[in-house]
Structure 1
Amino acid sequence: MGDKIKPAYYTVDFVTALPLTACRERLEHEVILKRRTIGEQLAPLDQQTTLRENGAFVVERTFPGAMHPIRLAGNLDHDEASGGTWVHGTITHDTYNQVLVEGMIIFLVFFMISAVFFVRLKEDGLLCSIPLLLMLLGVASLRWRALRKATEDLAHWMRRQLYVTRDQVREK
């Protein structure tokens, strides 16, 4: 009770043909996340990967103003049946609460500015504050969409990094 149900795309669970050492090497490479959209520039991300000797790993994406980073925690285990590596984990920290807090701050700021404008300018003050709210929500929406996309992309990134079929290994 109290646990939030995670969507299926928050999990990673596959067997790759890569051996355990190759998976570790791929995860150890530095990752530079591209900032293509305005939303991605409003929430610039950095990614760090921590690997432990027992096969546990944590991939974190940090961004300015974060209460906590976006975090995927999992394990790399040798798969006896295929000779490859079983990669399994889940996103344990997402941006859902971050968006709620930022949204509440925007409405609190809007309420305070509206009150000041109303005291000073009466009805004209309210007419001035409504476009301000729409502008703040528009900019925040770009940031929130970029954070949501970064959260959903973390599991996809893990698959792109590590999932290799047996045929792809033989070709190399």
Structure 2
Amino acid sequence: MILIVYAHPYPDQSRVNQQMLERVSSRPDVAVRSLYDLYPNFDIDVDAEQRAVEQAELVVLQHPMYWYSMPPLLKLWIDKVFTHGWAYGRGATALSGKGLLWAVTTGGNHDHFQIGAHPGFSVLAQPLHATAVYCHMRWLDPVVVHGAYAADAETQHAQIEHYCARLACWKED
């Protein structure tokens, strides 16, 4: 099963994220947990979230880029759900071997993220990559949909199709 942990504070304002979810949520092996719908007061049901993660083979963190990071509720979700003794630490095996895929949308184009001597998303992905490694998960190359505000429809469609294709064959990564 694929679990998409979706974190967008203003989901109605995101045409691209809506399209991404529409394209993949009809798959029988996909479950979506929309954090801002489930927890508008940031009061996360840790047990429910851990049960959802336990059922998944692949965990997808899908969200818009917020100041070169993730929205605050997703950060809180990771802090609360990936607990010591469950996700990491002595005897913790809940996440071991599961895939972790970062699916992020950006307002800027690809060139916007060529920051100084640190090209692309490798620097921005480091905290999530390190989390995956620390929890004994398989880190998969991120899916980045650039230009969510301004890219032409054809470019966005191609990027969304790439996301769908990655989910269809994620075990081969």
Shorter-chain TM-score tier:
under 0.3
Question: If you compute each CA radius of gyration, which structure gives the higher value, 1 or 2?
Answer: 1
Higher RCO (CA < 8 A, seq sep 6+): 1
TM-score scaled to structure 1, two decimals? 0.23
TM-score scaled to structure 2, two decimals? 0.23
User: Of Structure 1 and Structure 2, which has the larger fraction of its residues in helix?
Assistant: 1
